[in-house]
Structure formats: structure tokens, C-alpha cells
């Protein structure tokens, strides 16, 4: 079905239990001549992202529109069954090996953390993950009552929340007074040991458990907190497209950009994340993991 033949009267049939919709955009659809009828009849959030940033102009965009799937570009390497199988297999093996190699840290760091500052050993925090299962997507907190249908649809198209696990690097109840804010250089909330753990990325080691549970991958866009996702989706173009793949323990943005400290740094991070999604390969993951080792040794981008 081509964009010049898609009209409100002809698209009405698409609303009846659609399984797969194929749209070939012949050009810029900025006026919304294609999107508005689809949104109204199919009740789905559509985006130019894959045609503009991933597949190139005028290429075929395949989108699955079911109660369980979000918009999806079938040609992306990470979205193929074979690509997903190999990546998940490497994640399981890599996380298992990682836990074995870092097991001494799980014996030593809890003691040091307790001696350094009072509070729990581990820090669990809600993050936004992969948006594969629509029925479980509840990333944006708050009641659904009183919101427009457009807002509810957009909320549903964000990622599935999960709890990321870290070694604690901040004082206990660090956000009691200031609320959720980005960490900054010389942040007073970070403990003495926490600075070392963050610089060496040792605080991230427990996330091997998240990988084994299937919430994360070894390599991918870093997961963000729900309240930040809601804010950044409105400020940074195509930010929500990072959620089309599983979040990672490390990623291209992390080895090139470091920690986020502002919206400007997030914009740079999104550029790297989209590049990763577009060009993914197993060899690319290997290169990112090798660069991560260098980052851990040098402490690049940490504070």
C-alpha cells in the first residue's frame, strides 16, 4: 500500500485485527497525510524514524501492529530471528562467564561497602527496558485516568520497566531531599568508595544477573529511569527508538560519550545508539566490549 493511495476511507479496513502492515513511503510525509489516517484507524503510534535514520529514504518499512508488538523494522539485523538468537546466546554465555570471573568482587565489595558508609550493599532502581511486549509497557508512571488517548498510546509504546542491580555508590537515601537528578562531577552524594567503583565501572557488575534474567544484553543502549525517559522523549528527537532493542551493560554511546550529565550529552548518546542499532553485528559487539575494557582501565568518561 503506497502513501498516495492511503486515505481515511480506504484505511478503515486496517482497523480490523491487523496482523502486519507494510507501508512504502515515497517521500517526506511531514504533512501527516499517511500517519493521521493510520493513527486514527489502527490506533498505533507511527514514526518516520526507520525510513529516515535506519533504512534510508523510500525503502520498505515493515511494521507489526498487534496487541503484543511495537512498531518494528523487519530489515534491522537485531530484529531478525537469527540475529536475536545469536545475540541472546552470547549474552547468556558472556554473563555466566562474567559472574564467574567477578565472583571475588561479590565476596569482597559487600564488606568494603559496609565499612565505607552505612546503607544497603546493592542498589535496585527501576529502569525502562525493551518495548517488545506491549501489554507490559508501563514505563511512564502515574495514573492513566484523565489522560488523552494519544498520551495513553504513547505511554504504551515506551519500554517495559525492570529493576537494574548495582553495587551502591551513593549515600543511603541520596534522593530524599533532591529527588531524581543526574549525577555530576564531584557529586556530594557519591561515597569515597563509590567514586572508585564508578570510575572502574565495578558498580555495574551485578547487572550480569539482569542479563541472565533477560532484562538486558551485554551490549546495547544503557537503560534509563522512567521519569527521565518521559522527559527526554519530549526533548530529544527519536529518543524512544532506543527502546527497540534490549538495554546493555555497555554500549557504543558509553565507550564514546561516557556518563550523561545534561540533555546535550543525551543527544550525542542517542546519535551513537541509533548508529549501533542500524549497523549491529556480532563483530561490532566484540569491538565495543574490547573498547569497554580500555574504558574500565583508563576510567574514561566517569565521575
In whole angstroms, how far apart are CA 286 and each of 62, 87, 251? 29, 11, 11
Q: Which residues contact 174 (CB under 8 A, 6 or more apart)?
A: 189
pLDDT(66) > 70: no
**pLDDT at site 76:** 63
With beta carbons less than 8 A apart as the criterion, state whether 292 and 302 touch.
no
Strands 122-128 and 161-167: antiparallel
Q: Please, which residues have CB within 8 angstroms of residue 3's CB and are 6 or more apart in sequence?
A: 23, 24, 25, 26, 27, 29, 33, 34
What integer is the mean pLDDT of 225-252? 86
Cα gap 67→70, rounded to integer Å: 8
Query: pLDDT above 70 covers what percent of the chain?
Result: 62
Residue 134 has pLDDT above 50, yes or no: no
Mean pLDDT (whole number) for 2-29: 46
Please give the helix or strand (H or E) that residue 115 lies within, else none: helix 103-116
Give the separation between CA 33 and CA 8, rounded to whole angstroms.
Answer: 9
Q: Give the residue with greater pLDDT, 278 vs 216.
A: 216
Q: Evaluate if residue 247 carries a pLDDT over 50.
A: yes
Over the stretch 253-283, which tens digit does the pLDDT of each residue have?
Answer: 888 876 666 667 788 888 899 889 888 888 9
Read off the pLDDT of each residue in 213-234 and give the average, rounded to a whole number.
89
Residue scoring higher pLDDT (12 or 86): 86
Distances (CA, A) of 184 to 150, 176, 202: 35, 17, 18
- The CA distance from 98 to 209, in Å, is 10
211 and 249 Cβ atoms separated by less than 8 Å: yes
Lowest mean pLDDT among 116-130, 197-211, 219-233, 258-272: 258-272
Write out pLDDT tens, residues 72-125: 334 466 667 888 889 999 999 999 999 999 999 999 999 999 999 999 999 998
Neighbouring CB atoms inside 10 A of 169's CB total: 25
Cα(276)–Cα(279) distance, integer angstroms: 5
Higher pLDDT, 31 or 282: 282
Instruction: Please give the mean pLDDT across all residues of the chain.
Output: 72
Task: Please give the helix or strand (H or E) that residue 273 lies within, else none.
Answer: helix 263-279
Instruction: Note the pLDDT of residue 30.
Output: 45
Is residue 291 very low, low, confident or very high in pLDDT (cuts 50, 70, 90)?
Answer: very high
- What is the band of 136 on the pLDDT scale with cuts at 50, 70, 90? very low
Q: Is the pLDDT of residue 214 over 60?
A: yes
Residue 165 has pLDDT above 90, yes or no: yes
3-state secondary structure of 247: coil
Mean pLDDT of 212-228: 91
**Closest Cα to residue 218, out of 91, 87, 79, 88?**
91
In this predicted structure, the answer to whether residue 69 has a pLDDT above a threshold of 60 is no
Stretch among 7-16, 178-187, 235-244, 260-269 having the lowest mean pLDDT: 7-16
- Pairing state between β 248-250 and 217-219: parallel
Amino acid at each position: 500500500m503506497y502513501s498516495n493511495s492511503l486515505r481515511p476511507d480506504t484505511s478503515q479496513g486496517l482497523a480490523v485485527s491487523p496482523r502486519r502492515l507494510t507501508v512504502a513511503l515515497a517521500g517526506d510525509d511531514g504533512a501527516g497525510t499517511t500517519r493521521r489516517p493510520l493513527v486514527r484507524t489502527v490506533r498505533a503510534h507511527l514514526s518516520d524514524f526507520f525510513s529516515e535514520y535506519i533504512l534510508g529514504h523510500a525503502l520498505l518499512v515493515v511494521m507489526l501492529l498487534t496487541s503484543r508488538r511495537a512498531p518494528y523494522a523487519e530489515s534491522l539485523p537485531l530484529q531478525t530471528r537469527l540475529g536475536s538468537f545469536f545475540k541472546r546466546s552470547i549474552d547468556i554465555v558472556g554473563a555466566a562467564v562474567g559472574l564467574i570471573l567477578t565472583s571475588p568482587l561479590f565476596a569482597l565489595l559487600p564488606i568494603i561497602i559496609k565499612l565505607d558508609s552505612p546503607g544497603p550493599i546493592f542498589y535496585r532502581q527501576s529502569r525502562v527496558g525493551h518495548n517488545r511486549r506491549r501489554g507490559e509497557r508501563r514505563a511512564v508512571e502515574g495514573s492513566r485516568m484523565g489522560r488523552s488517548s494519544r498520551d495513553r498510546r504513547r505511554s504504551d509504546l515506551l519500554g517495559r520497566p525492570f529493576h537494574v542491580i548495582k553495587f551502591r555508590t551513593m549515600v543511603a537515601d541520596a534522593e530524599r531531599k533532591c529527588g531524581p537528578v543526574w549525577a555530576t562531577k564531584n557529586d556530594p552524594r557519591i561515597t569515597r568508595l563509590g567514586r572508585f567503583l564508578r570510575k572502574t565501572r565495578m558498580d555495574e557488575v551485578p547487572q550480569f544477573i539482569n542479563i541472565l534474567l533477560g532484562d538486558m544484553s551485554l551490549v546495547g543502549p544503557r537503560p534509563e529511569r522512567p521519569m527521565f525517559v518521559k522527559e527526554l522523549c519530549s526533548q530529544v528527537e527519536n529518543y524512544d527508538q532506543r527502546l527497540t532493542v534490549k538495554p546493555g551493560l555497555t554500549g557504543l554511546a558509553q565507550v564514546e560519550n561516557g556518563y550523561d550529565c545534561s540533555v546535550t550529552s543525551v543527544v550525542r548518546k542517542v546519535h551513537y545508539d541509533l548508529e549501533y542499532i542500524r549497523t549491529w553485528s556480532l563483530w561490532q559487539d566484540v569491538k565495543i566490549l574490547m573498547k569497554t575494557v580500555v574504558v574500565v582501565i583508563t576510567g574514561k568518561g566517569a565521575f
